[in-house]
Structure 1
Amino acid sequence: MTTRGGTLHAPADLRGGGHGHPPTRLPVVVHVLALGTFLMGTTEFVVAGLLPEIASDSQVTVARAGLLITVFAVGMIVGAPLMAMLTLRLPRRLTLVLALGIFAAGHVVVALSSSFALLLAARFLTALATGAFWAVANVVAARAAGPTASSRALGVVGAGAMLANVVGVPLGAFAGQLMGWRGPFWALAALGAAAMVLIARHVPHDGSGPTVVSVRSELSAVRTGRLWLVLAACATTTGGVLSTYTYISPLLTDRAGLASGLVPLVLVGFGAGALAGFLIGGRLGDHRPYVTTIAAAATTTILLLAICLLSGYAALTIVLVALLGLFGLGANPVLISLGVRFAGRAPTLGSALTVSAFNLGTAIGSWSAGLALESSLGATGPAAIGTVIAALTLIPTIAIALTQRRRPAAHTPAASGAGRPSPGPDR
């Protein structure tokens, strides 16, 4: 049983405490895929630091230029499951290479365009490619690492996007100031083209799509309550954290009394915490997936409530924001792993749906937080909304754990087997 080919990995208890032993090193392909998600995460958020320049050059208001972020989010929500179905019959390596090719082309169009409408269209196209890449990358990483290390592998892949917030986005904004706002898009196009070569070299040739290629079969395979509980948890955990994060600047300046120049440093602290959370959460999730998701949801709720109540204290608020990054997104790789696993014979579609759920939670959370910001709650409104949304995560995560305890004899298709039943119990 190998970790790189199309053969199945040795069976293991999903809790990781039994017969399987996680490998000490993850396959190289996992880190190559993390490079891809780093590029995806950078392009999603780098626009935020370039909005004034883009608005001025495109002769639109900054608020209208913000549609470039909204359109990207919508493209991710729609694109991940849509592209998963459209590329159903393609080998996974080819899908990843094509997605990066479209990603690079979309950035070239943005860099050359003088029409705001064309900018929006290119951003939407790039989001479709991003959704396709992310969905397939999760499945390829899980298969390459095997069932005993799938959450750890997904933590590394997701950490690429978290690293984008710490390194990629600030560098992109700095480059935009030096070279003009088009410079970062040229750089991302070049890096996307280079990533195509790495993907083509390192993703196994036989890492093709699922053996079941009927759209009807794919859709029927995801009609499971456990998968939809995972998707609900994906939406609420991300919605709770990012509803607060989206409007963290007024909280820090108006309530905590921080100088506006210090806000980026606090955001770097959040990003560093999120990066560590993805890596640690992935490791813990291979051993105790259900305990990890419940504990992360409970801790996140407590942290957000503390931010609501203690945001008048600057030093304490800075620490709480960093801890929010650590715990708030730490369960995401575990949820992705469970989504892939519970989707059974449709792992790519299951992965795609988790991507959509994360982005849907972000969209709803940030929208409701914006309303709260304008209410009598003021700067603490988004954190109050985030507390409520994060608390809701406890419902699906506890339900998943209880459901699994009642299924001692059940068998779950392993992500690495692309729909073949796993000999181990699904607990």
Structure 2
Amino acid sequence: MSPSTDNRPRTLPFVVLVLSAGTFLMGTTEFVIAGLLPEIADDLGVSVADAGLLITAFAAGMIVGAPAMAIATLRLPRRSTLVLALVVFSLGHLVAALSSSFAVVLAARVVTALATGAFWCVGAIVATTAAGPAATSRALGMLLGGLTVANVAGVPLGSWLGQVSDWRGPFWVLAALSAGAAAVIGRFIPDEGRKEVPSVRAEFTALRQGRIWLTLSSMTLLMGGVLATYSYISPLLTVRAGIPAEAVPVVLTGYGLGALLGTTAGGRLGDRRPLATLFTAAATTTLVLLLLTFLSTSPVATVVLVTLMGVTGFAATPVLGALALRFAGSAPTLASGLGGSAPNVGVAVGSWTAGITLTSPLGQAGPPLVGTVAAALTLVPLTALALMRATRSEAPLPQRGAVADRSAGASMQDVD
């Protein structure tokens, strides 16, 4: 898994594609529940509101579980951690599919979230190590692309399967696919030998750097703003913009494709001009959400702006993830775990705040206004990063089993 010595590698290693397929499964299971809540509630004898706790429990599991599992699995070989995470992920879906108890299904969702957190924090390190310093953002963009494709294809397919069979159908399929993914990862990802024993103390010491917290704050604010808007996009489209309900999936597909384009473009640009990419993404996202607040009475403008929201909102994510790993130096695992938690914190707080505004005089314009404020606030930690000359890292991203290429690492240090 040695990185390419070329400053701008043309292709990413195969292991990055394999890990991206894993994140596709994780993203599908996180969001597919939203389309199956009535069926789950009816089958398990709970209200739809109570069934919604299955979404909340997963988000909470990610917020706490990603950093917790990063530490818990720190001394395990990374390949073993990835395989174990997928096996637990598969078993969690099997338990949920076989159970008739809401409490058991809820517990299975929490366990599944913990496995997702472990997979993400370790997978991000494996992918960026394999890609090398010159393609760190691109590798994370590919992993995030798996989550985005889950929204574009996996969630609609899972919802359709749940409608034609029952809600347990998608759980059976995800259990089978994740078991297969565990076998593939066990076959194609080499087992790295560690030259030194990972230190829990070193992981926490790395968090003393203010640059890491500024990066995580930027993740929380930007993704919180975008997803606060997205959480209530359906009433915005149908009530405020007057778009027919049957056309909403088409609009959301445009958003998903925009997000896929954003993560891809952000990953490519971020390796060369990280801060320029971040400032551009935050500023344009703020503008798009502000325009959406006032122009969402027009169906055409709304469709265009929702698609652009996906492009601009997700362009920063791979760059922020790459910087968090870089600033962590030789102890990146916990920083990677917190990078998985930060967006979920933003989602939880942002969607709660947006929900309050939805019942205020602002109505459907409230959520995009909340998103506008959050996206604008992202410029504060980004400005602090720029003033600290944040991308002039003392050392390139640590490479396991390979000597870091300093000339490639310089690409993440180049600032406009």
The reply to whether TM is greater than 0.5 is: yes
Percent of matched pairs sharing the same residue:
57
Per the TM alignment, residue 401 of structure 1 is displaced from its structure 2 partner at its CA by 2.2
Question: What is the identity, as a one-letter code, of the residue corresponding to 2:238?
Answer: T
Unmatched segments (≥5 aa) in structure 2 = none
Match of 1:14 in 2: none
Q: Which residue of 2 aligns with 1:150?
A: 136
1:228 and 2:228 aligned: no
Alpha carbons 2:398, 2:404 under 8 Å: kept? no
Query: Cα deviations across residues 62-102 of structure 1 (Å, max 9, x unaligned)?
Result: 01100000000000000000000000100110000000000
CA distance in 1, matches of 2:395, 2:47: 51
Aligned-partner Cα distance in 1 for 2:182–2:38: 32
- Is residue 366 of structure 2 the alignment partner of residue 381 of structure 1? yes
CA distance in 1, matches of 2:158, 2:297: 32
Alignment of 1:300-379 (within 5 A): 300-379=285-364
Task: List 4+ stretches of structure 1 deviating above 2 A.
Answer: 210-214, 415-427
Partner of 2:98: 112
**Residue 161 of structure 2: aligned partner:** 175
Q: Secondary structure at the match of 2:395?
A: strand
Give the one of 395, 400, 415 matched to 1:412. 395
1:346, distance to aligned residue in structure 2 (A): 1.5
Q: Given that residues 263 and 318 in structure 2 are in contact (C-alpha distance below 8 angstroms), is that contact kept between their aligned partners in structure 1? A: yes
Q: Distance in 2 between matches of 1:369 and 1:103?
A: 31
CA distance change for structure 1 residues 221 and 80 in 2, over 3 Å: closer, same or farther? Answer: same
CA contact (8 A) 1:84 1:349 kept: yes
Q: Tell me how far apart the structure 2 counterparts of residues 202 and 340 of structure 1 sit (CA, whole Å).
A: 24
- Contact 1:142-1:415 at 8 Å conserved across structures: no
Task: Evaluate the alpha carbon distance shift between residue 25 and residue 9 of structure 1 in structure 2; reply closer, same or farther with a 3 A threshold.
Answer: closer
Aligned match of 1:30 in 16, 27, 47?
Answer: 16
- Answer yes or no: is the 8 Å Cα contact 1:212–1:218 preserved in 2: no
Structure 1 CA distance for aligned equivalents of residues 197 and 224 of structure 2 = 33
Deviation at 1:303, TM superposition (A): 0.1
- Residue in structure 1 matched with residue 186 of structure 2 by the alignment: 200
What displacement does 1:399 show? 1.7
Matched letter for residue 256 of structure 1: A
Cα 1:382–1:55 shift into 2, 3 Å: same
Distance in 2 of aligned mates of 1:204 and 1:149: 20
Describe how 1:241-280 pairs up with structure 2 within 5 A.
Answer: 241-280=226-265
Decide whether aligned partners of structure 1 residues 27 and 420 sit closer, same or farther in structure 2, where only a CA change above 3 A counts.
closer
CA distances 1:152-192 after superposition (whole Å, capped 9, x unpaired): 11101110000000000000000011111100000000000
State the 1:223 CA deviation. Answer: 1.1
CA contact (8 A) 1:257 1:314 kept: yes
2:119 aligned residue: 133
CA displacement at 1:207 relative to structure 2: 6.4
User: 2:402, 2:335 → 1: CA distance?
Assistant: 12
Deviations 1:36-65 (Å, cap 9, x if unpaired)?
000000000000000000000011110110
| Contact 1:27-1:144 at 8 Å conserved across structures | yes
Q: Who is 2:222 aligned against?
A: 237
Amino acid of the structure 1 residue aligned with 2:395: T
Deviations 1:241-261 (A, max 9, x none): 000000011111111111111
TM-score (norm 2): 0.95
Q: Secondary structure at the match of 1:239?
A: helix
User: Alpha carbons of 1:419 and 1:221: their partners in 2 closer, same or farther (altered >3 Å)?
Assistant: farther
Distance 1:286 1:353, change over 3 A: same
> Is contact 1:284–1:292 with CA below 8 Å preserved after alignment?
yes
Give 1:17's aligned residue. Answer: none
| SS of the residue 1:60 aligns to | coil
The answer as to whether partners of 1:9 and 1:416 remain within 8 angstroms in 2 is no
Among 67, 82, 85, the residue aligned to 2:68: 82
Uncovered stretches (5+) of structure 1, i.e. residues with no partner: 11-19
**2:268 pairs with one of 262, 283, 287:** 283
Task: From the superposition, tell whether residues 212 and 298 of structure 1 become closer, same or farther in structure 2 (CA, over 3 Å).
Answer: farther
Q: How far apart, CA to CA, are the structure 1 residues paired with 2:156 and 2:190?
A: 33
User: CA separation of 1:418/1:43 partners in 2, compared to 1, >3 Å: closer, same or farther?
Assistant: farther
Q: Which residue in the other structure is 1:15 paired with?
A: none
Alignment correspondent of 2:386: 401
Matched-pair contact (CA < 8 Å) for 1:346–1:419: no
Cα root mean square deviation, aligned? 1.7
TM-score normalized with structure 1 length: 0.93
C-alpha displacement of 1:329: 1.1
| Contact preservation (8 Å) 1:107, 1:185 | yes
> Does the 8 Å CA contact 1:341/1:413 hold for their aligned counterparts?
yes
Equivalent position of 1:13 in the other structure = none
Q: 1:222 to 1:321 in 2, by over 3 A?
A: same
CA deviation after TM superposition for structure 1 residue 414, in Å: 1.3
CA contact (8 A) 2:203 2:333 kept: no
Alignment match, 1:124: 110
CA distance in 2, matches of 1:304, 1:45: 23
